[in-house]
Each structure stands twice: as structure tokens, then as C-alpha cells.
Structure 1
Amino acid sequence: MSVTELAPAASGIDPERQRTRRAARRRNTRAALLFLSPWIIGFLVFTAWPIGYSAYLSLTDYDVINDPSFIGFDNYVQLIEDPKIALALWNTFIFTVLQVPLYVIVSIALAVLLNQAGRRSSGFFRTVFFLPKMTPPVAVGVLFLLLFNGQNGLINHVLGWFGINGPAWTTDPAWVKPGLAIMSLWTVGGSVIILLAALRAVPNQLYESARIDGANFWQQTTKITVPMISPTIFFIVVVNTIAAFQTFDEAYTAFFGSGNTTYSNDAALFYVIYLFQQAFQFLHMGYASAMAWLLFVVIMAVTAIQLWVSRRVVYYEADVR
């Protein structure tokens, strides 16, 4: 008898049981792959293939009508030479810097207020805050023009009650991006619900100890609440940063969808809007694909920086155990 035949017996393991276990693992693997196959097929067809094909198109001159012709890295060289690329990236960056902190601060404030409310009223206001997120973005873009009209808009009308002369939100380039950032708060409800769930998970013992030590509401919020929900805040910051870099619907509807040609268009020319114009108005599909890959690199770089910063500012309870 060989050594390999003696090994199972020496170790006390039944060879037949080993074969049964291997067969069971194979059956479980096949069953898992069978259940996952719809997602795998969908991912390959609708995600992996378009990503790979867009990488190829970024190296071609393609106008949809004619076959793609390979031109190497000419599209990427054109990205450096196109002045509107720098303008669109700058507009998108400024909008992101304005929108993300404002969005997060308002989300935290509303979530803290909801957490202080009673269970019944909290449920009602959760629904009220979330409902606007169901509003189509195109409708929000039209609403932006109505609310932020510099002459007879509701926002300036309310500011006038306090003796404040409101700016020309939709025509003054300096106020276009702040107005759109404020308008984006319309969909803050989703983040509020996520933050509220995180707040409910903070141990009450921490607040009780802080109150015994004489901490007021502001001290409890800054020293206990914010650190304890910092992973959730970080998640919202990352997700909304990515969304801000890809903003399109509201700005396009308000400033480009109706054929608006006022000078404020340059202030609202976000990167994805310019990408859309190149792809579907000018049919520069190859150039638009290169733009998409540039945006992907920018978002990955910004996200990597955020992950690096999070190691120093985000508190994970598991790290101290």
C-alpha cells in the first residue's frame, strides 16, 4: 500500500467522507453560480463590455455613422488642448466644493433634529423629507428657474422681506453654481434617513455620562454624536462627491435644455454636460469616451485622497478593541 493511501487512514479521515464533502462543495458552488448567473451576465453585458468598448472608442475617431478609425492617443492630447475641458472641470470642482459640505451639514442637522423628535412625529417627517427625492431631476431643473429667478423668483421675494436684495441667480455667473448647490438640497432626504439610522445606533450611555459631566447639547453633538457617526458621514461625503462630479440633469435642464444661449451657460457648463454635448450633439463619440475616462481618473484620485484622509478623521469602534 502506498504512502498516499495510508495517509487518510493514519489521519483518521474516512476517504469516502472526503469524496462526499468535495462533491457537496461542488454542488454548492454550482448552485451559487446558478443563482448569481443573472447578475454575472448582466454585469458582463451591461457594465464590463461597455467599459471595455468605451476604452477602445477613446482611441478612435467615431461619429456613430461611420466605422471607428484608430487614431491612438490623439483624443487624449486634444483633452489637454481643449480650453473647455479646463473650464468644465473647474466649474464641476467649484460646484462640488460648494455642494458637498452644504449637503452634509444640512443632512446632519436634520437628522439630529429628527433624532430628538418622538417616534410618531419622526416617522412623519422622515416621509416628508424623503418624498422630494422622488421628484424627477428635470422637474427640479425647471423649478430652479422659477424659484431662483432674479426678478420675480420666490427666493429673492423672501429675501426682500428682510431687506436683502437677492442676486441674479440664473444670469450672474458668480451665483449660478451657488444657486444650483442650494437647489441640490431638495434631495437631502436620502442622506437624512441614513444618518438617522446611524444616530439611533449611538449608545445612550455615552450621552448620560456626558450629561453627568455637565456637557451641553452642542458639546454632546461635537464630542459624541459626530465622532460616533463619522463612518456614515464619510460614506455620504464620498457618495455625494462622486454624484457632484457627475451632476447633469438639473443644470442641463435649466441652462441648456431649452436652447438657452445666455452667457451664464459657461458658468453652468459642468463636465458631464460637455461630455454629453460632444457625444450626442457633435457625435464625437471617441472624444467623449476619452472624456469619460478622464473623469473616471479624476473621481478615483479624489476618492483615494478622501480614503487617505479618513484614516485620520474617521472613528471606527473596531479599531480600538
Structure 2
Amino acid sequence: MSGMAAIPALAKKKHDYENGAGYLFILPWIIGFLAFTCIPFMFLIYFSFTKYDLLSSPRWIGLQNYIHIFTHDPKFLTSLKVTFQYVITAIPLRLAVALLIAMLLNTRNKGIGMYRTVFYIPSIIGGSVAVAVMWIQLFARDGAVNAIVEIVTGVNPDVSWIVNPDTAMWSLVLLAVWQFGSPMVIFLAGLKNIPESYYEAAMMDGANAFRRFMKITLPLLSPVMFFNLVMQIINGFMTFTQGLIITGGGPLDKTLFYQLYVYRRGFEFFEMGYAAALSCIMLVIVGVATAIVFRTSSRWVYYEAKE
């Protein structure tokens, strides 16, 4: 009887040991999450209610930063407008190109892995300063883009695309579209999970390629599209390097991205409290945008298991 009574105690001890081992393995992540996410987030909220210049101690001023942002800061609305314009144009184009390339690469041809790697490389190096400098050279007045246009049309545009107010934003949108590698890989994984039998049955029923795409590919790929859309929206609102290195926010504030404006208020004008308030506002905007996507997902995201 004593041996029987010891079995539950041993089972409990084993369960506690396994739980302890699990917590030990995730301890580095917990420490990193607390040190680099939770604590900085709490400080961000606190600093947004203070006047802080990085040189002296923060001074509590309540809602003055937020009041000034909404009533006396025209560049706040300008940077917000520029960022929304970028998100609305760049993200759909990037996702469309990523899906197109993923469908072209969804084959079993010899050497297809090399092509997948080549197409993914721009996303690896896309956020670097080197690529930004390269983009400046490509779209400069004497850059490769004007040379190609002259070869094709016989006319040299003689314009710097990143300095012209009408084309500066579109040059950055084109850079975003070029960096389609990450969503492409995710789309490719989703396409490989669609059973071939669905397409074979549709072909036997006489469905053409467009109808197969609309009735099979898009519905079954919609959960992947949903994930890509959410991630790209978040990344789009966080755009910073392109505006800082390539255009410097110009010309005429046409590429003054919100994060670039936050950076300038915090590290150029030493208004860290004001920059923290701007960051909190962007956090709310991103939260609302993602919430809208989640709220509307039930109308266009198809889950096969749920159906």
C-alpha cells in the first residue's frame, strides 16, 4: 500500500520537474521580453507625459505634449498623411508582386530553389544603409534609371526622381515593392499546402486558370494573405530608414514618414517627451488598423477546417 501511495507523489514530482525545465528553457526569452519590451514600454508611456531633453531630469507636464500635437503641430498631420499614403500604396503592390512571384516559383522544376533564394535576397539586405545609398544612385539625375529610359524611349528625363516632389514617394514605393521576399516565402508555403487534387477536379469540370485562381487559390490562401497583410501594415507604419537616408524627409516634406518625424523631435531637437507622445499615438493608430483588419477578416478569410 505504501508503494501505491508513493506513485502519485512521484508523478507530481516528475510533473514539477518538467514544468521547471520548461520555464528554464524559456527564461532567456522572458528576460528579454521584460527588459526590451515591457519595461521600455512603461517608460515610453511615462515620458510621454513629461518634458524631457535627455540632458536633465524629466519634468511632469501632464497632457501638454498631446494637446500641442493635436492643436499646434502641422508636421504631425503632414507626417501622418505621408505615412498613410505610403502604407496604402506600397503594401498592396508589394503583396500583389509577392503573390505573383510565389505562384511562378511554385513548381518542381530543376534549379527552382536557386531562383527562390535570389528573389529573397532583397528582403535580407533591403533595410540596410547600403541599399538606400544604391537607390540614391539609381534614381539620381545621372543614374541608371534615366539611362534605361533614354535607351528605351530615346529621351533622357533629366530629372532626379528622389528630389522631384511628384516622384520622390513613388521611388520609395518602388523600393518597398522590390523587397517582396518575406511575404513571397510565406505565400509560397501557403500555396504548397493547397492539395493538387482540388485543381485537378476543377480542370476536369472545365474551369480555366483564372477561375481556378479565384475559386481555389484565393480562398485557400486567404489565411496566409491575412497574416501577411497584418505584418506588412505594422512594418509599413514603422518605415524609417528609406526616408532618412534616401530623401531625408524631402522634398517639401513629401517623404516625411512618421517615424522619421519622431526621430527628429527626439534626437535632433532633444524633445524626448514629445517624441514619446508621438510614438504612443502611432501605437494607437497601428492597433486600430490591425483591429479593423481582424474585425473584417471574417468576411474574406476562409478557414477550411471551420467550414
Q: Residues 214, 52 of structure 1: CA spacing in aligned structure 2 closer, same or farther, 3 A cutoff?
A: same
In structure 1, what is the equivalent of residue 262 of structure 2?
A: 275
SS for the counterpart of 2:169 is: helix
In structure 1, what is the equivalent of residue 211 of structure 2?
A: 219
Q: Residues 311, 162 of structure 1: CA spacing in aligned structure 2 closer, same or farther, 3 A cutoff?
A: farther
Farther-moved stretch of structure 1 (154-163 vs 53-62) = 154-163
Contact 2:102–2:185, Cα closer than 8 Å, also in 1:
yes
Q: Residue type of the partner of 2:275?
A: A
State the distance in 2 between where 1:227 and 1:69 align.
Answer: 54
Contact 2:65–2:273, Cα closer than 8 Å, also in 1:
yes
- 1:215-254 aligned at under 5 Å gives the runs 215-254=207-246
State the distance in 2 between where 1:90 and 1:29 align.
Answer: 49
Displacement of 1:290 in angstroms is 0.7
SS for the counterpart of 2:55 is: coil
Contact 2:94–2:179, Cα closer than 8 Å, also in 1:
no
Farther-moved stretch of structure 1 (161-170 vs 33-42) = 161-170
In structure 2, what is the equivalent of residue 158 of structure 1?
A: 148
Contact 1:131–1:189, Cα closer than 8 Å, also in 2:
yes
Displacement of 1:20 in angstroms is 3.0
Q: Residues 162, 211 of structure 1: CA spacing in aligned structure 2 closer, same or farther, 3 A cutoff?
A: farther
In structure 1, what is the equivalent of residue 83 of structure 2?
A: 92
- Gaps in structure 1 of 5+ consecutive residues: 1-8
State the distance in 2 between where 1:316 and 1:74 align.
Answer: 47
Q: Residue type of the partner of 2:288?
A: A
In structure 2, what is the equivalent of residue 77 of structure 1?
A: 67
State the distance in 2 between where 1:183 and 1:127 align.
Answer: 19
Q: Residue type of the partner of 1:315?
A: Y
SS for the counterpart of 2:259 is: helix
Of the candidates 99, 102, 107, which is equivalent to residue 108 of structure 1? 99
SS for the counterpart of 2:110 is: helix
Contact 1:92–1:271, Cα closer than 8 Å, also in 2:
yes
Q: Residue 37 in 1 paired to residue 27 in 2?
A: yes
In structure 2, what is the equivalent of residue 5 of structure 1?
A: none
State the distance in 1 between where 2:7 and 2:69 align.
Answer: 63
Q: Residue 319 in 1 paired to residue 279 in 2?
A: no
Contact 1:156–1:165, Cα closer than 8 Å, also in 2:
yes
| TM-score between both structures, scaled by the size of structure 2 | 0.92
Percent of matched pairs sharing the same residue: 35
Q: Residue 179 in 1 paired to residue 171 in 2?
A: yes
State the distance in 2 between where 1:301 and 1:15 align.
Answer: 56
In structure 1, what is the equivalent of residue 57 of structure 2?
A: 67
SS for the counterpart of 1:76 is: helix
Q: Residue 148 in 1 paired to residue 139 in 2?
A: yes
SS for the counterpart of 1:319 is: coil
Q: Residue 204 in 1 paired to residue 191 in 2?
A: no
State the distance in 2 between where 1:298 and 1:163 align.
Answer: 46
| TM-score between both structures, scaled by the size of structure 1 | 0.88
Q: Residue type of the partner of 2:58?
A: P
Displacement of 1:164 in angstroms is 7.8
Q: Residue type of the partner of 2:43?
A: Y
Q: Residue type of the partner of 2:209?
A: F
Q: Residue type of the partner of 1:59?
A: F
Displacement of 1:119 in angstroms is 3.6
Displacement of 1:65 in angstroms is 0.6
State the distance in 2 between where 1:284 and 1:187 align.
Answer: 33
- Gaps in structure 2 of 5+ consecutive residues: none
Q: Residue 291 in 1 paired to residue 278 in 2?
A: yes
Farther-moved stretch of structure 1 (120-129 vs 82-91) = 120-129
In structure 1, what is the equivalent of residue 108 of structure 2?
A: 118
State the distance in 2 between where 1:137 and 1:123 align.
Answer: 25
Contact 2:48–2:273, Cα closer than 8 Å, also in 1:
yes
Residues 161-207 of structure 1 deviation map (CA, whole Å, 9 limit, x = unaligned): 14787575212323222221111123211221211111111111111
Contact 2:137–2:144, Cα closer than 8 Å, also in 1:
yes
Contact 2:86–2:169, Cα closer than 8 Å, also in 1:
yes
Q: Residue 300 in 1 paired to residue 287 in 2?
A: yes
Q: Residue type of the partner of 2:289?
A: V
Contact 1:141–1:251, Cα closer than 8 Å, also in 2:
no
State the distance in 2 between where 1:39 and 1:315 align.
Answer: 33
Farther-moved stretch of structure 1 (154-163 vs 174-183) = 154-163
Residues 136-166 of structure 1 deviation map (CA, whole Å, 9 limit, x = unaligned): 52122222222223x3332343334147875
